Amino acid sequence: GEDVEQSLFLSVREGDSSVINCTYTDSSSTYLYWYKQEPGAGLQLLTYIFSNMDMKQDQRLTVLLNKKDKHLSLRIADTQTGDSAIYFCAETLPGGYNKLIFGAGTRLAVHP
Span interacting with another protein, options 10-18, 63-71, 74-82, 93-101, rule CB under 8 A: 93-101
Q: How far is the CB of 94 from another protein (least distance, A)?
A: 13
- Which residue spans within 1-112 are E strands per DSSP? 4-6, 9-13, 18-24, 31-37, 43-50, 55-58, 61-66, 71-76, 85-92, 100-102, 106-111
Cβ proximity to another protein: between 64 and 100 the closer is: 100
Return residues touching another protein (CB under 8 A).
4, 8, 30-31, 33, 35, 41-45, 48, 50, 88, 92, 97-105
